[in-house]
Amino acid sequence: MVSLKIVKSWWKPAGIATLLTGGLAIAMLTSPGEAAPEKKKMVVIGLDGMDPKQLREHLDAGYMPNFRRLIASGEFTTLGTSIPPQSPVAWSNFITGQNPGGHNIFDFIHRDPETYLPYLSTSEAVGSDKSIKLWGDWQLPLGGGEVINLREGKAFWEYLDEGGVPTTIFKIPANYPPTESEARSLSGMGTPDMQGTPGTFTYFTTHPPEDADDISGGEVIDIYFDRGVAKGGIPGPGNPFSQKGKKAECPIRIYRDEENKTAKIVLGDGEEVLLAEGEWSDWVPVEYYMLGEEGFGAKVKPVAAPMGLAINGIARLYLRSVSPQFGLYVTPVQIDPANPAQPVSTPDNWSVELSDRLGRFYTQGMPEDSKALEGGIFDDSEYIHQAGMVLDERMMLFEAMIRDFAQEEWGFLFFYFSSLDQQTHMMWRAFDPNHPAADEESLKHSDVVVNIFKRLDEAVGVALDELEGDATIVVMSDHGFAPWYREMHLNSWLADNGYLTLKDPSQAARETSDFFMNVDWKNTRAYALGINGLYINVRGREKFGTVAPGAERDELIEELVQKLKGIEDPVTGMYAIKEVYKSDDVYSGAFAKYAPDMNVGYALTYRGSNESALGEFPIEWFGDNTGKWSGDHCIAEDLVPGILIVNREITNPNPRLYDLTATILEFFGIEKGPDMIGASVF
């Protein structure tokens, strides 16, 4: 059984936080008599997905003057990433100073060996199953839920906290729920929206697309106007007072003015927003009532609620079109940092202090709405604009925190930017005319990614101007980037080569079943799950395991390693897989036994398909990637290293993410943890 950290109850008078995921781990106190750390300053700027090859190209082109200033005062090198080079894995390496065998994050998703079904790798929400049945669909929940934080290992800022170092951690990924400590921290990648999902937008329209039900990451709501007025509801969290788990809704009324191309939107009890066609609102409150005068889930003002039966979020609205087709986009409803339904920061009120001072901001882990682009709700220009608003907001917060840090006597600051990673994922096709998804429309935005490099150069300039000569400045990324031209359906290859058996091998069954529901486990020896993971169906570990542990498992792994590296794409003539990493060779630590047996390191321009990752079996082994998600990094780790730039000498010739963790602790004179495997780069 995996060792898990159980975190505190969500239930609190101000709201029903059992509707969301959240929680806190326990920090320790500094040992008596421990020497005080030297009073120095360090800032680490985390630029998710900055690729060293792209950076060098932009440096050579003269786009990055502030990066040049920083490099001139120190050094620039590559930074070894994780196996596999996926963001939650890589950032967990950095957070804990360990490899995945130590922190238990091996992929975006893991699998339950009892059911073979996937689950989110970083955290799990568990609601209370205790309730009193009342009448109709009503129930009274007793107690709250809990969050299980699946990332193991001690975060480096816990060591800083114990050592007395003033510390701020802004949105580091894989830190949800936020690790409890005296450090100021805001949770990052993994923080859900108010529905408890990674991000679910709402789109109100008079003309839903034909594939509306298939759009992932959003809810398309069909509305109609009666004398210029339409009504609906913004979906929210599941209601714990409902025995059927119905969602709460925030009522919305839309008044359309076709002549002037405007609309007035009224939310809840009267929050009004007036928008012109093509205009975005600022943050507006979205309130969900759990009990109302007309009964459970009512869309009216609630009865007296001494326990606090309303919860609040925030959203931004975009009036996409007024007529002849009406379209109103609502961002995923965010946990309101000014009034959080559950903590997204440590201390709990730090998000409140930030929003009081600087205004409300996105709390969702990955706020760039790539799902709206993939689902056809946004076009490229609209997505770029929305993602640009995220970056504008992040830059405003960064400048404020850097200037605050400049006034501090000493301490540590980490600040995270997501924009480059998300934009390069979605817009590689905009600057690469050879990409299968490149077209005339996308190529109009060929400067979108380089413009983000330029904005991030401005951020480095702010840090240099405010801190130069007063702090050690580190700029780093968790991995690099590559084009994704061709997708490989690894599970289809396993099925067609006798390693995995399907109950029904017909084309119709292969094209319609998902989540491994078509697999005959009792006659299966190996299966792939997640983007890079490959498992042996081991007897005594998996519920229907067929392969004996020990020699039989090891021989099958060796056989698969050899065969996988020899798979040739018939269209390109290229080998699709560069490396296959045996977990026994690359992972160490208490949780290595829960790892996939192998990790597939795809060759340049290849990646595992989304279908295969979730247990589907297309007929073909390969296909062109014609989706909007056109760049990626889930390939062989040596092809996509990150960057490391420091305004001092780097003596480690081949630094990796976990070396940077050891560096931070050593910088402040704090001994690294016994499970940490890195060494200082200085």
pLDDT digits (tens, 9 = 90+) for 137-151: 655 555 555 556 689
Question: Torsion angle of alpha carbons 516, 517, 518, 519, nearest 10°?
Answer: 50
Q: Two tokens at 384? A: 């770029």
> What is residue 150's predicted lDDT score, i.e. its pLDDT?
81
Is 585 a domain residue?
A: yes
> Which string of b and e fits 97-123 if b means at least 16 CB within 10 Å?
bbbbbbbbbbbbbbbebeebbbebbbb
Q: In terms of Cα–Cα distance, which of 192, 268, 266, 194 is closest to 236? A: 194
> What is residue 374's predicted lDDT score, i.e. its pLDDT?
97
For the beta carbon of residue 325, count every other beta carbon within 10 angstroms: 11
Range of the domain at 622: 485-638
How far from 299 is each of 286, 312, 508, 512, 576, CA to CA, in Å?
Answer: 13, 14, 43, 38, 54
Question: pLDDT band at 10, cuts 50/70/90?
Answer: very low
Question: pLDDT band at 521, cuts 50/70/90?
Answer: very high
- Give every CB contact of residue 432 below 8 A, 6+ residues apart in sequence: 438, 483, 630
Among 307, 340, 373, the domain-final residue is: 340
- Taking the model in full, what pTM does it have? 0.91
Is 106 a domain residue?
A: no
Confidence check: pLDDT of 477 > 80: yes
> What is residue 19's predicted lDDT score, i.e. its pLDDT?
34
Check if the beta carbon of residue 178 is closer than 8 Å to that of residue 345.
Answer: yes
Q: Could you read off the pLDDT of 104-132 as tens digits, one per residue?
A: 999 989 999 999 998 888 766 666 566 55
Q: What is the distance between the alpha carbons of residues 654 and 26, in angstroms, rounded to a whole number?
A: 34
Instruction: Return the DSSP state at 558.
Output: H
> What is residue 202's predicted lDDT score, i.e. its pLDDT?
98
Report the largest interatomic distance among the alpha carbons of the chain, rounded to a whole angstrom: 76
Is 657 a domain residue?
A: no
Confidence check: pLDDT of 11 > 50: no
Is 430 a domain residue?
A: no
Confidence check: pLDDT of 32 > 50: no
Confidence check: pLDDT of 240 > 90: no
- Give every CB contact of residue 477 below 8 A, 6+ residues apart in sequence: 46, 47, 48, 49, 50, 51, 79, 642, 643
* DSSP letters for 199-249: --EEEEESS--TTGGG-TTEEEEE---BTTEEEEEEEEEEPTTBTT-PEEE
Average pLDDT over residues 404-419: 97
Confidence check: pLDDT of 290 > 60: yes
Q: Could you read off the pLDDT of 292-320 as tens digits, one per residue?
A: 533 344 433 333 333 447 889 999 999 99
Mean pLDDT check: name the lowest of 113-122, 163-172, 360-369, 451-460: 113-122
Is 253 a domain residue?
A: yes
How far from 347 is each of 157, 350, 368, 637, CA to CA, in Å?
Answer: 14, 5, 26, 36
Confidence check: pLDDT of 272 > 60: yes
Average pLDDT over residues 401-407: 97
Question: pLDDT band at 55, cuts 50/70/90?
Answer: very high
Query: Between the ranges 194-198, 477-481, 511-515, where is the mean pLDDT highest?
Result: 477-481
Q: Could you read off the pLDDT of 222-233 as tens digits, one per residue?
A: 999 999 999 999
Confidence check: pLDDT of 16 > 50: no
> What is residue 1's predicted lDDT score, i.e. its pLDDT?
32
Q: What is the distance between the alpha carbons of residues 454 and 664, in angstroms, rounded to a whole number?
A: 27
Among 295, 312, 340, the domain-final residue is: 340
Query: Between the ranges 14-18, 129-133, 613-617, where is the mean pLDDT highest?
Result: 613-617
Number of domains in the chain: 2
Confidence check: pLDDT of 196 > 50: yes
> What is residue 18's predicted lDDT score, i.e. its pLDDT?
34
* Run of H or E including 607: strand 605-608
> What is residue 557's predicted lDDT score, i.e. its pLDDT?
98
Is 647 a domain residue?
A: no
> What is residue 258's predicted lDDT score, i.e. its pLDDT?
97
Q: What is the mean pLDDT of the chain?
A: 90
Among 320, 340, 360, the domain-final residue is: 340
Check if the beta carbon of residue 522 is closer than 8 Å to that of residue 546.
Answer: yes
Is 587 a domain residue?
A: yes
Is 212 a domain residue?
A: yes
Share of the chain above pLDDT 90, in %: 81
